[in-house]
Every structure is written in structure tokens, then in C-alpha cells.
Amino acid sequence: MGSIFGVKIFNMMHPKYILIIALIIAGVFSWAFTQTKVFELLVLIRFMSGFSQSFVSIFLPVWADRYAPSEGAKQCWLSGVLMSSTIGVLFGYVITAAFITHLNWHWSFYFQSVCILPVLLLLIITPKKYLDITAPVEPKAVKETDAPEVSLDENEDILVDSQQGENQDL
């Protein structure tokens, strides 16, 4: 549900503030989930927690795409972002199993609320310019010597690399 409104909200205010608000909401609702026994309220709390997490899920791939230093690094960064959700769920189940064995299920949500705090603090001290995904991107300059001139010989299906002087069959 948050994805439907995410783009509009990211265009209304700076991503730093959206992420700060989203993390505060996620932390508060994780803690609040342990404090009620009313089913309808539990459903609402889980919905709001997931809604707030959707903004982080929208932001991270766009941020990785924008700020990765090269195309190769971009693939690595995006893979890490996508993998982090799966690994986070796996660790969540393992940690919850440990808490249930020794304490009760409430502690897994308390732990989640506490883990959000350092991320929130780092986000607060991060300058806005490193989180801006809405400003236009400056194209990276390519030197003429960096890009080889490539042409296709029309008479033959051979790709000619002018710098290497080599022919490659297509």
C-alpha cells in the first residue's frame, strides 16, 4: 500500500525526512505490537509497520542506482540491497526462535525496535546531499580515449575495433 503513495510522497519532501519518519513509525509500531491484545488493533499496527517499511524499500534501490560509483558497482550495490531483505527475514526468524526459547515472542519485537535506533541516529547525522534521489543526475564525462570507436563493415559481418585493429566475427 505504501508503494502506491511512495512516489508522490518522495516528490513532496526530502527523502531524509521521509526515511526518518518511516523508521520512527516502524520502531514505535514494533513496540506497540507487544502492548495490545485487541485483534483489530494488532492488524492495524502490523499494517502501519509494513506501510512505513515500504518507503525504505522504495528508496534503497533508487539510491543504490544513483550513487554507485560505476556500472559494475551498481550491480553489486543493487544485489546487496535486494539480498538484505531476504537475509534480514532469515536472521529475524533465527533471533525470534532464540527469544522464544529463552524468553517470549515480545522480545523479538523489542529487539527490532532497539535495532532501528542506531540506523535512525546515523540517518539523522547524514547530510541531506547524500540521500537526495530527486535532483537531476550529472552525466559522467567519457573521454574519447576511454571509448573505442566501433564500426560494422557493411560488406562483411565483421565488427572492427579501430583502437585494437582486430576483427571479430558476428
Q: What are the pLDDT tens digits along the chain (170 aa)? A: 667 777 788 778 888 898 999 999 988 998 888 888 889 998 999 898 888 888 888 888 888 888 888 888 888 888 888 888 889 889 888 888 888 888 888 888 888 888 889 999 999 998 988 888 876 666 554 445 555 554 444 554 454 444 555 555 44
Q: According to the model, what pLDDT value does residue 24 have? A: 92
Domain span at 16: 2-130
Whether residue 143 sits in one domain with residue 119:
no
Whether residue 122 sits in one domain with residue 89:
yes
Q: According to the model, what pLDDT value does residue 9 have? A: 83
Whether residue 122 sits in one domain with residue 76:
yes
**How many helices (H) and strands (E) are present in the chain, helices listed first?**
5, 3
Starting at the edge strand found earlier in the chain, the sheet holding 166-169 runs 150-153, 158-161, 166-169
Domains contained in the chain, number: 2
Q: How far apart are CA 110 and CA 30, in angstroms?
A: 7
pTM (global) more than 0.85 = no
Whether residue 99 sits in one domain with residue 75:
yes
- Which residues neighbour 22 within 8 Å (Cβ) at sequence distance 6 or greater? 52, 53, 55, 56
Q: According to the model, what pLDDT value does residue 1 have? A: 67
Q: How far apart are CA 48 and CA 27, in angstroms?
A: 11
